[in-house]
Chains A and B, each alone.
Chain A
Amino acid sequence: MVKSFAPTTLAEALKLRKAHGLTLYTGGTDLMVEAKEDASYLFLHKIPELKEIKQDAQYIRFGAACTFSDLIDHPLTPKILKEACGQIAAPAIRNIGSIGGNIGNGSPKADSALIFMVTDSLVRLVCEDGERMLPLKEFYLGRKKLALRRDEIIAEVLIPRQNLDNYYYTKVGARNALAISRVAFAGILDVRDGVIRHCATAFGAVSDVILRPAEIDAMLTGKTLTQAKALRQDYLAAIDQVIVPIRGRVGVEYRKDVCLNLVRDFLDVNGI
């Protein structure tokens, strides 16, 4: 029996989730491309608790059912995230596609998720019996595999407050089925008084999951720009090592080349 539910409170949604499992549905922009006739959906788009955007001392917090349009319109959304959301598809998709769905589909191509990765964001997972926080990086277990239990939903995405002014973001190619390749890269470099306080990069659509090579980026942290420049080749070689593109896809080498060129450009524009 196909049954769907459209709860208007989080408590109600969690109860239904626990009792029936169900397929979580926020905007449907991924799910409805297949539109399984026999699917039983738990609709999440009418739950006010999942639509809030706010900040506290540590984080900017986005409800999982916020759409890309909601983020673009909100003053608390960091510029890098607005830019990435603005480049997603077209208005009709941005109006209903959500960040929870973008993370929940588990795709390495997810564009808002790339920004949540490069900013070392957390997801707040809730179920009827409680909640837990997980770094997004740990939420992605492998190709289309998520650390989401059958009774849980993603309730919130939390970006640690940090200096995101100096960022680099580029998305290459289109989503269009005919486009052979698509790569996205995001980089953040916080430089104060000539010293790199924080360096972070993330790569979309090259591996089974979004790549976030924090250990490699750490090579540059604490260095002056001159020291970083001396490390440039080692840094690039390490990034080269870590990008293992998805086998069997068209343009595997091309994708990797594009990634490395984008990293070079990221370093160039920052004088490294």
Chain B
Amino acid sequence: MSVFNLNGKEVNYAGSPAGRLLDVLRGEWQMTGTKCGCKEGECGACAVIIDGKLTNSCLVAMGSLEGANVTTIEGYRETQRFAALDKAFEAVSAVQCGFCIPGMVLAAECLLSANPHPTEDEIREGISGNICRCTGYGPIIKAIDMAAKEGDGLW
């Protein structure tokens, strides 16, 4: 049994400690905002925030979560910071199919909370583990830059 905090609520998990967080989120708890692109840590579509750090949920065994704080896109979307990112992503049309976007947004959050005024290179580095096959990254980088400027003070 592991007990941890998911999007602000305490959860109890009694399944296999070797199970993947990604599978449990999507399969057992129907939280499908977290996407599955590779299960090898390469694509970032499954990214969540664990204890303040960007983490690929496909590489997390459930048993490691005892006492942890986990934020998925479903929890993050309730925040003001999300609203600033959402607005910027929309303003520059940074979303095409949308598959990579939950991971991108959480990567942006982790970047901006460590570095509220990133350069373009720092933004690229911050999302370097998140693969987007649609946009060519340009608009996504622009959106994060815009959110940092317009949402100044939030991070």
Q: Are B47 and A2 in contact (CB under 8 A)?
A: no
- Which of A2, A31, A92 has most B Cβ within 10 Å? A92
Contact partner, A6, options B58, B64, B126, Cβ 8 Å: B64
Alpha-carbon distance between A41 and B18 when the two chains are bound, in angstroms: 7
Q: How far is the CB of B121 from chain A (nearest CB, A)?
A: 13
Q: Closest residue to A44 on the B side, CB-wise?
A: B64
For the complex formed, measure the closest distance between the CB of A179 and the CB atoms of chain B, giving whole angstroms: 12
- 1/0 per position for A27-53, CB-CB distance to B under 8 A? 111011101111111010110000000
Give the Cβ gap from B28 to chain A, nearest Cβ, in Å. 14
Residues in B whose Cβ lies below 8 Å from that of A89: 41, 129
The residue among B2, B59, B60, B110 with the most chain A CB atoms within 10 A of its own CB is B59
Interface string of A52-89 (1 = CB under 8 A from B): 00000000000000000100000000000000000001
A2 neighbours in B (Cβ, 8 Å): 16-18
Q: How many angstroms between the C-alpha atoms of A85 and B2 in the bound complex?
A: 31
A270: Cβ under 8 A from any B Cβ: no
| Contact, CB under 8 Å: A35 / B18 | yes
Is B101 at the interface (CB under 8 A from chain A)?
no
B59 touches A96 (CB 8 A): yes
B19 within 8 A of A: yes
Residue of chain B at shortest CB distance from A39:
B18
B40 touches A93 (CB 8 A): no
Q: How many residues of A contact B (CB 8 A)?
A: 30
Contact B61 A28 (CB under 8 A): yes
Q: How far is the CA of A36 from the CA of B61 in the complex (A)?
A: 10
Closest B residue by C-beta to A27:
B59
Instruction: List chain B residues, Cβ under 8 A from A33.
Output: 39-41, 59
B85-136 contacts to A (CB < 8 Å): 107, 110-111, 125-126, 128-130
Assembled-state Cα–Cα distance A25/B66 (Å): 14
* Segment at the interface with A among B49-57, B137-145, B146-154: B49-57
Q: Which residue of A lies closest to B111 (CB)?
A: A91
Q: Are B129 and A25 in contact (CB under 8 A)?
A: no
With A33-B39, A41-B64, A43-B61 known, 5 other A-B pairs at CB within 8 A are: A32-B59, A91-B54, A91-B110, A92-B55, A92-B107
- Interface residues, chain A, CB within 8 Å of chain B? 2-4, 6, 25, 27-29, 31-33, 35-41, 43, 45-46, 69, 89-93, 95-96, 176
Q: Could you write out 14 A-B pairs with CB less than 8 Å apart?
A: A4-B17, A6-B63, A6-B66, A28-B59, A32-B61, A35-B18, A35-B20, A39-B18, A41-B17, A46-B66, A91-B126, A91-B129, A92-B41, A96-B55
